[in-house]
Amino acid sequence: MNAASVSTLQASDGGAGVPRHVAIIMDGNGRWAKARHLPRIAGHRRGAEAVRATIRAAGELGIEVLTLYAFSSENWRRPEEEVSDLKGLLRHYLLAELDELANNGVRLKIIGDYRRFGPDLAAMLDNAVARTADNASTTLVIALNYGAQDEIVRAVRALAQDGVAPADIDIPAIAARLDTADLPPLDLLIRTSGERRLSNFLLWQAAYAELLFVDTLWPDFGRDDLFAAVADYGRRDRRFGGL
């Protein structure tokens, strides 16, 4: 799809247009590798390349926020070797990509309890977030050791710690204490690999998001797939409970 198509998507007549905030459950790395008789880490490596292509495409489309589920709070149940490989891949990704992200106006934000990855990786992440804090073109949110139920529990704890009276607990009071407090509402949630579950991702934020399940395995996902997803979103009629 060329630049003219981007403007077609943006101007889509009466449709939802280009989503401001897109989130992706990047699923299927293991199956991609298995189909090729490769170790699972090979699928994750190709997955990291798909991340790069998808961030670029999001920039082209003018998507403000791209939120990626890179490691769930349940992924600790995987074999130690795979957890260690995923941590290594994240470290490698930060070292290899931070300059490009920083120079292309991408602001990095982390959601989830990422300190559990240890002080070295946490410091790298803090540094990457600080270095890109003033960027304004696209916000890349990486969910690390993230679980939506855990996020809601942490928000409720914060309400108690802040001494909020029961009568003052409302939707904005909770939303303001979620990891996503400073982000625009989630418009489109995509899951790859044919699975149709939310898997504890952005449960609160998905209340009115459009859901899109595609069969493509994450390592095969690229620019055209994101453009197709946005075109699909653009044809939807969002009513938010109204008529």
**Binding residues vs ligand FPP (CB under 6 A):** 26-31, 44, 47-48, 51, 68, 70, 75, 89-90, 93, 142, 193, 218
Q: Based on CB atoms, which residue is closest to ligand FPP, 143 or 209?
A: 143
How many CB atoms are closer than 10 A to CB 21?
22
Beta pairing partners, 87:
none
Q: Based on CB atoms, which residue is closest to ligand FPP, 193 or 216?
A: 193
Q: Based on CB atoms, which residue is closest to ligand FPP, 9 or 70?
A: 70
User: Contact, 29 vs 72, CB < 8 A?
Assistant: no
Which whole-number Å values give the CA distances from 30 to 39, 42, 45, 86, in the listed order? 8, 8, 11, 12
Q: Enter the DSSP assignment of 191.
A: E
Residue nearest to ligand FPP (CB): 30
Active site residue 75: yes
Q: Based on CB atoms, which residue is closest to ligand FPP, 112 or 234?
A: 112
Q: Based on CB atoms, which residue is closest to ligand FPP, 73 or 155?
A: 73
User: Least CB distance from residue 7 to ligand FPP, whole Å?
Assistant: 29
Q: Terminal CA-to-CA distance of the chain, rounded, Å?
A: 33
What's the CA gap between 98 and 61, in Å, rounded?
21
Active site residue 27: yes
Amino acid identity, residue 137? S
User: Least CB distance from residue 23 to ligand FPP, whole Å?
Assistant: 13
User: Least CB distance from residue 243 to ligand FPP, whole Å?
Assistant: 38
Query: Which residue out of 27, 85, 187, 225 is catalytically annotated?
Result: 27
User: Least CB distance from residue 219 to ligand FPP, whole Å?
Assistant: 8
Query: Which residue out of 13, 29, 75, 126 is catalytically annotated?
Result: 75
Beta pairing partners, 189:
23, 211
User: Least CB distance from residue 146 to ligand FPP, whole Å?
Assistant: 11
What's the CA gap between 30 and 78, in Å, rounded?
12
DSSP 163-188: T--GGG--HHHHHTTSTTTTSPPP-E
What's the CA gap between 111 and 180, in Å, rounded?
7
List residues with catalytic annotation: 27, 75
